[in-house]
Amino acid sequence: MVSRDSRFLQLQQEPYEPIPECIISDKVFFQCFQRECIPEATVELPEGGGPFTFVDVTFQPGFIVEGTLTITPIDNMDPTLNRITFILRIPFTARVRNAEGNIISVDSFVDFFKDDAVRIPENPFDEFSFNIVVETRSEVLRAVIRNNTLVLTIGTLVVIKVVGRVELIVLSLGYCVPDRCEEFIPRDICEEFLDLPFTQIFPEQLNTL
């Protein structure tokens, strides 16, 4: 009788051959990028505990604020050309160190008003819809603490995408076959030390000849 693991290993050892398969995926029909910069994004620090020193900022993925997206056709001669406006919000967590050396975290966000022209393919079916998706990469260009306020200069790379969920034919090499999980074994420092080979414990003898 062949065990399940044996059949699994046999499947893993078989050579892969590309075959066409249908998958459901998000397809990018249009994308463009822009750089945005906010010279002074202010973050109010807690009262007391100063003076503060800046530590770092951790950014979260930007997103379109709900209810702010509008799509308007621009040219009747080119129905694919549309104007989109929305508010792009990028949350972040700023960390500062107080006078006692403790780290304090403050949550905040910055907003960008976006007004851009994008191309959205004509939609022949009412049931099919396109989504406007954004991706962001943000960084702190400068950080200054004035009185009790952290002032940040933030630069952001914004990618705007027109995405539709479609069925695609792709070349596939089959299912992904994972490796067997390794059991975690706690490290025994004493056992590792006891297994070490013998080392010289005496000083080197001088050659007097």
Would you list the domain boundaries of the chain?
Answer: 18-173
**Of 90-99, 117-126, 183-192, which gets the smallest average pLDDT?**
183-192
CA angle 14, 20, 21 (to 5 degrees): 95
Residue of 6 and 183 predicted with greater confidence: 183
Asked whether the beta carbons of 204 and 55 are under 8 A apart, the reply is no
Q: Is the peptide bond before 51 cis (omega within 30 degrees of 0)?
A: yes
**Of 59-63, 101-105, 138-142, 203-207, which gets the smallest average pLDDT?**
203-207
**Of 4-8, 66-70, 102-106, which gets the smallest average pLDDT?**
4-8
pLDDT digits (tens, 9 = 90+) for 6-51: 555 455 445 678 889 999 999 999 999 999 999 999 999 988 777 8
pLDDT above 60 (res 182): yes
Distance CA 36, CA 153 (A): 11
Asked whether the beta carbons of 132 and 86 are under 8 A apart, the reply is yes
pTM of the complete model: 0.74
Beta carbons within 8 Å of 30's beta carbon, 6+ residues apart: 118, 119, 120, 121, 161, 162
Question: Looking at residue 17, what is its pLDDT?
Answer: 81
Distance CA 53, CA 150 (A): 9
